[in-house]
Chains A and B, each alone.
Chain A
Amino acid sequence: MIYLDHNATTPCDPVVLEEMKKWFTEMFFNPSSIYTASQRAKEAVEDARKKVARLLDASSEEIIFTSGGTESNNIAIIGTALLLKNRGNHIITSLIEHHAVLNVCKFLEKNMGFQVTYLPVDKYGIVDPDDVRKAINDRTILISIMAANNEIGTIEPIEQIGKIAKENNVVFHCDGVQVAGKIPVSVKKLNVDFFSLSGHKFYGPKGIGALYVRKGVKFKPVFYGGHQEKGLRPGTENVPAIVGLGKACEIAEEKMAQDSSKEKILRDELEKKLVERIPEIIVNGHPEKRLYNTLNICVKYVEGESMLLHLDFEGICASSGSACTSGSLEPSHVLLALGIPPEVAHGSLRFSLGRSNTMADIERTADVLPEIVEKLRKMSPFWNKK
């Protein structure tokens, strides 16, 4: 099997899994209990917190463990809205955010009287910081912009947007799920107040994530219960997963430079070969300001799912758009925001590379896909009429 869908999820690193094991079994203790064994569990959680903090250039007290990216985004956005709703009811985000941000904003619009500005992007998917500045009004309480887009890989000017948020005294949340563990992140440099990350996107376990909350920044909890995570995210800590996340952060720091240079070479080669071999395709996203592992293309006159099924028959795993929208018939909201016509957006394919990929994987994919496209185009009324 050739796995080219790492933006959807990654395999858990065996070293990570090994670290986690004993916290399920002999070290199963509740970190909140008083006895020594529990204190070991507590220390393991705090050790992991340090590792997450180090990855983000934050301090440990600024990290809250959550169940993943979706929860981190929900807590940051809803928690800020709840806290500041008397100060203002306006939120700024972009058209190309993940649904874990967009649908939270829609919830607030529908149920809490919030007004949301969905900023457009340019043809590469970049949010113009000037648009952010212009959208701010005296009721604006929150800006939420992703660090990099999951579908096309475009990297947003977070540092500049953060500066604008700071100057205007507006809270700034950044969905960093696609960059954490992939590229160096300094929350200090980025001027963000909240930053979401998810373990399984960088070889950690699923069901665990974190939210960075800048020191001094407050929000109202969304869940209520015990004192865990300072009461901001109560519930008995998922110790094995937290330990796994910490380890994944540590490994990411070690391997980031090597991963990025290797995957970029492979991604560029795949892009070059596909552009050479398949007529009438479009490469989406910014040519340079793009995650090194992501390639998103639109193949004209064919539909994405058909290509994915044929790739699957050949043992190649990829996706069209994001995994979260594959149950939908709508073309990708991200590609539509780039100005791509719907009929072309239906022909999208996303390849996202990871640690295990080799040049042989790329060569095989670049051999197989042109044949698939030719076969499907032969079937397509539009191609035949050209």
Chain B
Amino acid sequence: MYSEKLLDHFKNPRNMGRIENADGIGKVGNPVCGDVMWIYIKVRDDRIADIKFETFGCGAAVATSSVITELAKGKTLEEAEKITNQDVIDVLEGLPPLKKHCSLLAEQGLRAAINDYREKQRAKH
């Protein structure tokens, strides 16, 4: 049911963990539904200098978290905001239909982290 690519990201998740004093945190999903994703970002000169995730969820949730962090790392915030769930699915070479929401969660998680960063910046000024 899962692609080789997905199983690889599940087995060896990239950028897994937490960033202490993160500049932005995106918390999406709901434990009742069985998927929760937290995305941490560190921003330098409007660029995502570092990104990590913590995820409670199925194989697809872990893999989509891993992929979104890879896609976003090093990108400007503007570029990162344009990453969609389809980009994640493409990297994974497909997702079972029932697991599509995991890719949406990844997209939303990244955007929530960027929004959180922007709000914090606004509060500072």
Question: In the assembled complex, which residues on chain A have CB atoms less than 8 Å from the CB atom of B123?
Answer: none
Q: Which of B2-38 contact A (CB under 8 A)?
A: 2, 7, 10-11, 13, 16-18, 27, 31-36, 38
Check B56–A382 contact: CB distance below 8 A.
yes
B55 contacts the other chain (CB 8 A): yes
Q: By the criterion of a CB under 8 Å from any partner CB, how many residues of chain A are at the interface?
A: 22
Q: Indicate if the CB atoms of B16 and A303 lie closer than 8 Å.
A: no
Scoring A residues 293 to 333 as 1 if CB is less than 8 Å from chain B, else 0, what string do you get? 00000000111111001000100000000000001110100
Closest approach, in angstroms, between the C-beta of A328 and any C-beta of chain B?
8
Minimum Cβ distance to chain A for residue B12 (Å): 11
> Contact at A346–B7, with CB atoms within 8 Å?
no
1/0 contact trace for A334-351 toward B, CB 8 Å?
000000011100100000
The complex places the Cα of A331 from the Cα of B31 at a distance, in Å, of 11
Contact A303 B98 (CB under 8 A): no
Q: Which residue of B lies closest to A301 (CB)?
A: B56
Could you say which residues of chain A place their CB within 8 Å of the CB of B33? 329, 342
Q: Given A303-B57, A306-B62, A343-B32, do A384 and B16 touch, yes or no (CB 8 Å)? A: no
- Nearest-neighbour CB distance to chain B for A181, whole angstroms, equals 30
C-alpha gap A379/B27 in the complex (Å): 14
> Does chain A have a CB within 8 A of B54?
yes
Task: Say if the beta carbon of A216 comes within 8 Å of chain B.
Answer: no
Separation of A381 and B57 alpha carbons in the complex (Å): 10
Q: Distance (Å) between the CB of A382 and the closest chain B CB?
A: 6
Cα distance, A331 to B2, chains bound together (Å)? 20
B-side interface mostly = mixed
> Digit string of B45-83 for contact with A (CB within 8 Å is 1, else 0)?
000000000111111011000000000000000000000
B61 pairs with A303, CB closer than 8 A: yes
Q: A302 near B98 (CB under 8 angstroms)?
A: no
Chain B residue numbers with a CB within 8 Å of A381 are 27, 36, 38, 54-56
Q: Would A329 and B34 be within 8 Å (CB), given that A313-B11, A379-B62 are in contact? A: yes
Assess whether B54 is in contact with A379, with CB atoms less than 8 Å apart.
yes
Q: Residues 70-110 of chain B: 1 if any A CB is under 8 Å from the residue's CB, otherwise 0? A: 00000000000000000000000000001001000000000
Closest to B61 in A: A303
Q: Residue among B2, B27, B33 with the most chain A CB within 10 A?
A: B33
A263 to chain B, nearest CB (A): 30
Task: List residues of chain A with CB within 8 A of the CB of B38.
Answer: 381
B positions within 8 Å CB-CB of A? 2, 7, 10-11, 13, 16-18, 27, 31-36, 38, 54-59, 61-62, 98, 101
**Chain A positions near chain B (C-beta within 8 angstroms):** 301-306, 309, 313, 327-329, 331, 341-343, 346, 378-382, 384
Could you write out 9 A-B pairs with CB less than 8 Å apart?
Answer: A303-B34, A303-B35, A309-B2, A329-B33, A331-B34, A343-B31, A346-B34, A379-B56, A384-B18
